[in-house]
Structure 1
Amino acid sequence: MPELHLIDFGILGLYLAVVVALCIKVTLRNPDADELFLAGRSLGPAVIGLSLFASNISSTTLIGLPGAAWDTGIAVANYEWMAALVLLFTAIYVAPVFLRRGITTVPEILEQRFDPRLRKYLSATSLFLSVVLDTAGSLYAGALVLMLFFPDLSLGPTCAAMALFAGIYTAAGGLRAVAYTDVVQSIVLLLGSLILSTLVFAEFDFSWSAVSAALPAEKLSLLRPLDDPTLPWLGTLIGLPILGFYYWTMNQYVAQRLLGARDIQAAGWGALIAATLKLLPLFLMVLPGAMAATLIPDLDRADTVFPRLIIDYAPAGLTGLLLAGLIAAIMSSVDSALNSASTLVMVDFVKPRHPELSDRHIAKLGRWITLLLMLIAALWAPNIDRFPGLFAYLQQAFAYVTPPLVAVFAIGMTTRSIDARAALHGTASGHGVSAILFIGAQLGWHNIHFTLVAGLLFVLTILAIYLWQASDASRASAAREAAPIRHGETVSGALKISALLLAVATAVLVWFFR
């Protein structure tokens, strides 16, 4: 059993006290619906960027990235640098459209382009992913680590306790409480990860040559062969952009920070800050996990790499800081997912059916919905223990569910030749093919890598949408009357230049670790 010292408990207590104080301060505002769901549309770039980073670098990432790197190498970092490029694209081309149209949820954009059915389709799917994957996965990962430090804990009650803590302050303070606590949590998370990665690198005398000599070359390569079972280069090229676009642009769990921006420039600079921070996990989480393959070769399961590194290399005091970083990761992901899920339920389902409800009533009901979703996620989280690995659980689920949604969004953004009927039926057809491919993978009918499946499903869904449109030529003229949803105010020239420089830096990083 790892030993925690008094200073460790002191640091943990200080972190929790700061979070509670922030939540109390925000809750005293007695937020209405706009405040609860979008922080009054007043968030600045720093808060947006740090909150985007903290909500994404969750406990699932802290556990999943080092675990995958320990097992197969650093190619798992492709998700991170690809996210940076997607965020840059979103900042320049998509966020301005969102803010100009004044939407509260991302699915609203599909209603504006097509009809309410597409809005509810995307909203229901996003709601499922937010509760079953994002929230439950974060609770499970956090409980897994805390149980190593406190062996008397058990999985179910630990998940429930974390969900209760995050659920209460999310329900009370809304997005502002989530975003402001995310700022604190991202700082703690970055500092803790930086210290741990430094301690691990010190085991190699801070020598990259020593690391290269200790690990096989393929474990230090981002671009893997086409037949690589972990992440083939073609999957990185055609699959990860699709998964990343859904996560960073269409996923209410993440996009809600952009929707809460005070203006288009704040959203753009916030996304740029988050994109910059997304280059750090390679150094702070992935490489330490790969190095741990030589330092701790005898693990029973890869998901325990991060807590083992804390146990073996963090001295008194630093263990408390790292545990605070872990709890920060848990809270930032759980609170974000709960708030976004509640927003989807209230704005996309309840409010359209009951337009007579006041903002105060919507906010009150939204708080109860938050607590209900918290309960569902807490009940499901222990079941993730039945899956072989946390990161695989998350990424494979996204790969089979999200590409048809990205396809219909892309259609809506770029063309006016598709009507609502074709878009809905084509998206449903894409999910039908997705279900067949998923079942086939479980039964061993194919072994196509899930990133390649994502690219395939994207293309097949677009084809299905056009086929449905062609099946009723009489609808073509009506479809042309609908304007694509791509137009909007653009960001500043300075932001575009900064985005270009960051894209170049990302390319250099990939080339170095190719």
Structure 2
Amino acid sequence: MPQGLGQLSGLDAGIIGLYLVAIVALGLYASRQSTTATDYFLAARSSTWPTIGLALLASNISSTTLIGLAGAAYASGIAVYNYEWMASVVLVFFCLFLLPVILRSQVYTMPEFLERRFDGSIRLYFSGLTIFLNIVVDTAGTLFGGALMFKLIFPDVPLWQIAALLALAAGAYTAAGGLKAVLVTEVVQAVILCGASVFVAVFAFEKAGGWDAVMAGVDAQKMSLIRPASDETLPWTGLITGVPLIGLYFWCTNQFMVQRVLSAKDLNHGRWGSLFAGLLKLPVLFLMVLPGSAAILIYPNLERPDLVYPTLIFDLLPVGIIGIVVAGFLAAIMSSIASTFNSASTLVTMDFVRRFNPNVSQASLVRIGRITTLCFMVLSVAWVPVVENLTDTLWQYLQAVLAYAVPPVVALFLAGIFWRRANVAGARAGVLVGLVAGGYLFHGVQVSGSIHLHFLLAATLLFALSLAAVIIASLVTAPPDRVKTETLMWTRADFDAETRSLKGQPLWQNYRVQAGALLALTAIIVWLFR
């Protein structure tokens, strides 16, 4: 690693400090009108499409993403970008089929939707699982990635203390203002994050000798998105099966992300915002993945892949620019942490507290949400040392945990929205089979090594087993009441009615035209880097 890495000039430190103070102040200012549960947890359902799109990007691009994408590209190649472009495909699917049903239900949380479609036990299971994943995967992983960066600046400060300060900075305005404060700050943070990423990419390619030098100098296999079935990192079989499943969970059912869309002022803004987020995900290849490829030529012997992104920042960027880029990195950390804190507190408050005490006042719900946020701050910081000792790369940790935990949830949502016969018995069977099979596969693949199966293929197998359990158990028991399916399913009739309504809309406002253009652009990028 280059000498002197992590040293900040007074100018850089001043820029970072100014950003931190400004963003916390902005969040606290935005929090002043959050008085009801709808205000606090869903920003009064008044969000417009630019806010939703930028907030989705800011929530998704965390320190885990910045460090993980560059580190994975350095260690194994750009195939890691498959998770990013797949988001565009998944979000198109979301807008076409799931979003109309979800917004029509007027729910606060995604587990609440499962309760209406099935029953309360499924809601509690999914809510508990989401809270667990929010803390041990999303927040703890983000805090670890952020602390890893700032550990280079403050080498004598323990990692957990750095993580605690980051959690406190984001948790302060999240606890005060809820989703409205989170959305306002995320819009600013998304802009800063994208600008900072441009600086890193430009300087990395310049140091490596330019675009042509990187394309020619890095091993061709590492510059290919489509890998053979025997590839240990991301086989093409896992790309077309496991990656979409993880994407469906993350973008379509995870409260952490969907809460932004639930705050939309209407269905159009929810769709436009989601597709805008999908569009914003495409440049990630050039801004966050390929700089890791350039680092192969610049730093061929880094001791750990997760050090690629911090090394590029502190070794290549000039004074002043370092401050801007570190502020962008801080923006990624704070926006992601704020998102997970807010979604987890929403789940606890609405899926547990209000469910078991429906007469609780609006003021009490807001107060409980704030207290819950503070509790999650402590829990996520406590999990950071566990993340540090579990894995070699952040990206491996993130995707592997999701692969064994979320396929049954995807099976429940897809069966519930597209198959009228799916019932409570089927949902419970799907959950039970998923838990048992997931535990067995996780132990056999990740712990004992007795099963040789890529985690993406394990996710596919879990999904198939859970879906089969849902179908079989539903068919051998009584069908659900019609009230359970009347408004909580996608139907062809709804689609046809929507087709007629879209005929009077300008093409540039037609979300189906937008979705087609997004898919075409995605296909071009994948083809060029196949």
Residue 215 (1) aligns with residue 231 (2):
no
Q: After the TM superposition, which residues 343-422 of structure 1 pair with which residues of structure 2 at under 5 Å, given as runs?
A: 343-387=346-390, 388-422=392-426
**How far apart are 1:499 and its partner, in Å?**
0.8
Distance 2:165 2:20 in 1: 14
Residue 437 (1) aligns with residue 402 (2):
no
Q: After the TM superposition, which residues 78-97 of structure 1 pair with which residues of structure 2 at under 5 Å, given as runs?
A: 78-97=82-101
**How far apart are 1:512 and its partner, in Å?**
0.3
Asked whether the 8 Å contact 2:74–2:305 carries over to 1, the reply is yes
Q: After the TM superposition, which residues 32-431 of structure 1 pair with which residues of structure 2 at under 5 Å, given as runs?
A: 32-208=36-212, 210-387=213-390, 388-431=392-435
Number of residues of Structure 1 aligned to a counterpart in Structure 2: 510
Residue 511 (1) aligns with residue 527 (2):
yes
Question: Paired residue for 2:472?
Answer: 467
Q: Which amino acid in the other structure matches residue 29 of structure 1?
A: Q
Question: Paired residue for 2:478?
Answer: 476
1:453 to 442, 458, 463: 458
| Cα deviations by residue, 1:485-513 (Å, 9 ceiling, x for unpaired) | 22568595611101101101100100000
Over 3 Å counting, the alpha-carbon distance change for 1:478 and 1:64 in structure 2 is: closer
Question: Structure 2 regions of 5+ residues with no counterpart?
Answer: none
Distance 1:477 1:65 in 2: 45
**How far apart are 1:355 and its partner, in Å?**
1.1
Over 3 Å counting, the alpha-carbon distance change for 1:479 and 1:343 in structure 2 is: same
SS in 2 for 1:108: helix
SS in 2 for 1:130: helix
**How far apart are 1:97 and its partner, in Å?**
1.4
SS in 2 for 1:28: helix
| Cα deviations by residue, 1:273-311 (Å, 9 ceiling, x for unpaired) | 100011011110110001101111111110110000011
Distance 1:477 1:15 in 2: 56
**How far apart are 1:239 and its partner, in Å?**
0.7
Distance 2:362 2:127 in 1: 20
Asked whether the 8 Å contact 1:220–1:513 carries over to 2, the reply is yes
TM-score (structure 2 length as normaliser): 0.94
Distance 1:368 1:479 in 2: 38
Residue 20 (1) aligns with residue 24 (2):
yes
Distance 2:389 2:90 in 1: 32
Distance 1:99 1:134 in 2: 25
**How far apart are 1:477 and its partner, in Å?**
4.0
SS in 2 for 1:230: coil
**How far apart are 1:22 and its partner, in Å?**
1.2
TM-score (structure 1 length as normaliser): 0.97
Distance 1:427 1:201 in 2: 47
**How far apart are 1:91 and its partner, in Å?**
2.0
**How far apart are 1:468 and its partner, in Å?**
2.3
Asked whether the 8 Å contact 2:55–2:183 carries over to 1, the reply is yes
SS in 2 for 1:203: helix
Over 3 Å counting, the alpha-carbon distance change for 1:364 and 1:302 in structure 2 is: same
Asked whether the 8 Å contact 1:418–1:476 carries over to 2, the reply is no
**How far apart are 1:220 and its partner, in Å?**
0.4
Over 3 Å counting, the alpha-carbon distance change for 1:148 and 1:423 in structure 2 is: same
SS in 2 for 1:315: coil
Distance 2:479 2:337 in 1: 45
**How far apart are 1:480 and its partner, in Å?**
6.9
Distance 1:481 1:365 in 2: 32
Asked whether the 8 Å contact 2:77–2:224 carries over to 1, the reply is yes
Asked whether the 8 Å contact 2:116–2:484 carries over to 1, the reply is no
Q: Which amino acid in the other structure matches residue 333 of structure 2?
A: I
Distance 1:478 1:99 in 2: 22
Distance 1:385 1:481 in 2: 48
SS in 2 for 1:309: helix
Distance 2:489 2:480 in 1: 16
Asked whether the 8 Å contact 1:416–1:481 carries over to 2, the reply is no
Q: Which amino acid in the other structure matches residue 206 of structure 1?
A: G
Over 3 Å counting, the alpha-carbon distance change for 1:255 and 1:440 in structure 2 is: same
**How far apart are 1:86 and its partner, in Å?**
0.7
Distance 1:342 1:30 in 2: 15
Distance 2:306 2:192 in 1: 21
Over 3 Å counting, the alpha-carbon distance change for 1:99 and 1:469 in structure 2 is: closer
Question: Structure 1 regions of 5+ residues with no counterpart?
Answer: none
Distance 1:461 1:427 in 2: 7
